[in-house]
Structure 1
């Protein structure tokens, strides 16, 4: 590609000298020259020729001098590399030019060997700038893409190759979290498209903001449902603790959002959340054409099943004992031993609670009733009946009472 150089000087013989001295480079197509006689003419030529690489400008010229031209060029979004030419005794103006952003300077009379070296050096500088801008643009595009999945801090780390984060398929210990809005499909069919779009976008932005606040990874969004990972793509030794805290904050946001929608006449269903932890295969499985960071394995399937179990249990958040055992300072109510279809052994599940929540006042009496249920004590019916009498809005206590009244025994629950 031919490097274009704009020479700005009012000396009438300079154009002929420059063309003569650089005739071989001009014939070879390595360099091309344009000529202007003052700053005003130079600005016009720059506007007409977007491929100019270097401006070689005298300082003392009529109408607009070189310092004014330099100032105008530096105010552009992508300033051109400028080399200032002036008499050796005019060092004050040369110093001013360098302070204003000139890349280099030459003194008159021009030494054309020095000019050739200066042009080569300036062109190398331009190439470095182009490469830096290209890398920055690529990084910004990558960051914009990754920010849809990862928290802002993690997205920045992934963009930086020096961090060495591996997105290829690998087995990792993760906490998997699924969310889903109850009866959303039926609601969507009853809403106008613009209202549905506004509602869903606001909901998903709020939910992903919560996930990113806990530095989780959004592996998938399908309609209103989210799949979130902790412990991938980077190690998070506290992935279970993060997952529980995130689940509670997602539940709080979803319930507040649901109340706001109700005031607008939209009966949005509850958001159900399931969390499980264990090994999974995680990585970018987009087939080389798409970015699709996701996870596979029994851990993922079990988390999805726990989310779905909320519908039967009456709860909004259901986590496995694996997560509860690993989460620091965990507090919650045991749900029972769930027999999930496809699993050979039951899985103890819990409803997590905030340690400082006002809703925890009935935990002790619930635990006492659950202990009777666990030992198949006939007094479990009375204990849960009393619990429902005190807190009729507690769906989990009502679930157990209904099971007992229908002949159920113990804490094993078919899901």
Structure 2
């Protein structure tokens, strides 16, 4: 690519001298020259000729001196690499020019061999900066395109294209969040496709924006369900806390969304959320031609079972003791030792609560009733009955009361 140099000098013979010295390079297309007699003419040339990349600028010129011209060149969006020309004894002005952003300098009388070397060095710098800008623009375009389809963490890693970016399948400790909507299939059967499409797109946009706020990675969207990973692909020391905070935010947003559509006469179901933490195989499972960044393993099966358990328990969020124990200052109500479908050992389940709900009288009463349930005390029935009587909306207390009335006891709960 030809480098274009603007020579700004009022010496009448300089143009002929430069063209003669660089005749071979000009003929080979390595370099081309333009000429201006003073700073004002130089600024006009730069404005009208965006191909100019290097400016050879004399400091001592009429109308607009070199330092003033340099300052205006540096203020432009497309700054040019400037080589200052000045008398050998004028080091103060040369130093001032270098401090203002000049790339290099040559002294008068101009040594053409020195000028040639200086121009070569400057052109190499220009080419390097051009390549950096090109790569940056390509990365930005790639990131913008990928961000339409992937979580921000994945988009950033894919756009960088760096080796060892964590996309290969590997074992990793993660927290995973899984959401689903109650009664969604019946809603699909009843609603027109256009309304359903608008509603589901609005729902998914709102939910995924919240996930991104907590730096979660959306691994899958299947119908109305969303699978979210934390601590993958990037390390997050607080991944369990992030997952639980994200679950609260998703629950609040989904409930407001459901109530808004209910006012429009649409019975949009509640969003159920499960959260668990453990080891999983994480990475791209799509092979060489298809990208499918997700996680597999027992951790994923467990979180799906926890999400489904909400339907039986009457809760909207059900989390495991594994994620609760890794979180910072977890606050929630114990549900029981859950025997999930397909599992041989129970897992401790909790309903996470906001600070206000955790500190409420209802939660204090629940914890006392649960302690009686755990100890198999006979008055556990009356304790849960009093809870339900004072707060009919406490569905988890209602679930325990029904278990007790049906002859069950203790906190081990088999969920099928």
TM-score by length of 2: 0.79
Do 2:274 and 2:304's aligned partners in 1 also have CA atoms closer than 8 Å?
A: yes
Residue 31 of structure 1 corresponds to 31
Tell me the CA shift for residue 180 of structure 1. Answer: 3.3
2:210 to 206, 211, 236: 206
Structure 1 segment 267-346 matched on structure 2, within 5 A: 269-285=269-285, 287-288=287-288, 292-327=292-327, 329-346=329-346
Tell me the CA shift for residue 177 of structure 1. Answer: 1.3
Structure 1 segment 75-114 matched on structure 2, within 5 A: 75-88=75-88, 91=91, 93-114=93-114
Tell me the CA shift for residue 302 of structure 1. Answer: 1.5
Structure 1 residues 412 and 120, CA gap change in structure 2 (3 angstroms): same
Task: Give deviations 1:307-349, integer Å, cap 9, x for gaps.
Answer: 1221232101101233344445444333344443333444342
Give yes or no for the alignment of 1:414 onto 2:415.
Answer: yes
Do 2:208 and 2:218's aligned partners in 1 also have CA atoms closer than 8 Å?
A: no
Query: Helix, strand or coil: the match of 2:86?
Result: strand
Query: Helix, strand or coil: the match of 1:168?
Result: coil
Structure 1 residues 194 and 242, CA gap change in structure 2 (3 angstroms): closer
Give yes or no for the alignment of 1:179 onto 2:156.
Answer: no
Structure 1 residues 241 and 15, CA gap change in structure 2 (3 angstroms): closer
Do 1:150 and 1:218's aligned partners in 2 also have CA atoms closer than 8 Å?
A: no
Residue 10 of structure 2 corresponds to 10
Do 1:177 and 1:274's aligned partners in 2 also have CA atoms closer than 8 Å?
A: yes
Do 2:177 and 2:276's aligned partners in 1 also have CA atoms closer than 8 Å?
A: yes
Tell me the CA shift for residue 168 of structure 1. Answer: 2.1
Worse overlay, 166-175 or 96-105: 96-105
Do 1:8 and 1:35's aligned partners in 2 also have CA atoms closer than 8 Å?
A: yes
Residue 361 of structure 2 corresponds to 361
Give yes or no for the alignment of 1:219 onto 2:219.
Answer: yes
Do 2:179 and 2:271's aligned partners in 1 also have CA atoms closer than 8 Å?
A: yes
Alpha-carbon distance between aligned partners in 2 of 1:178 and 1:248, rounded to the nearest angstrom: 13
Residue 151 of structure 2 corresponds to 149
Task: Give deviations 1:136-192, integer Å, cap 9, x for gaps.
Answer: 44565576657963579x969x96979x76332110122211123445673985848
Alpha-carbon distance between aligned partners in 2 of 1:184 and 1:58, rounded to the nearest angstrom: 75
Tell me the CA shift for residue 394 of structure 1. Answer: 0.4
Structure 1 residues 263 and 89, CA gap change in structure 2 (3 angstroms): farther
Count residues in correspondence.
408
Structure 1 residues 15 and 384, CA gap change in structure 2 (3 angstroms): same
Give yes or no for the alignment of 1:19 onto 2:19.
Answer: yes
Do 1:203 and 1:257's aligned partners in 2 also have CA atoms closer than 8 Å?
A: no
Structure 1 segment 115-134 matched on structure 2, within 5 A: 115-134=115-134
Query: Helix, strand or coil: the match of 1:341?
Result: coil
Do 2:59 and 2:85's aligned partners in 1 also have CA atoms closer than 8 Å?
A: yes
Residue 385 of structure 1 corresponds to 385
Gaps of 5+ in 1: none
Query: Helix, strand or coil: the match of 2:232?
Result: coil
Worse overlay, 140-149 or 235-244: 140-149
Query: Helix, strand or coil: the match of 1:12?
Result: coil
Task: Give deviations 1:191-229, integer Å, cap 9, x for gaps.
Answer: 4866765565344323432x23xxx44434556643222
Do 1:204 and 1:224's aligned partners in 2 also have CA atoms closer than 8 Å?
A: no
Structure 1 residues 40 and 282, CA gap change in structure 2 (3 angstroms): same
Task: Give deviations 1:79-119, integer Å, cap 9, x for gaps.
Answer: 11111223445555544433432222223322101111110
Do 1:2 and 1:30's aligned partners in 2 also have CA atoms closer than 8 Å?
A: yes
Tell me the CA shift for residue 11 of structure 1. Answer: 3.2
RMSD across aligned positions (CA): 4.0
Worse overlay, 92-101 or 273-282: 92-101
Do 1:175 and 1:243's aligned partners in 2 also have CA atoms closer than 8 Å?
A: yes
Structure 1 residues 43 and 320, CA gap change in structure 2 (3 angstroms): same
TM-score by length of 1: 0.79
Query: Helix, strand or coil: the match of 2:208?
Result: helix
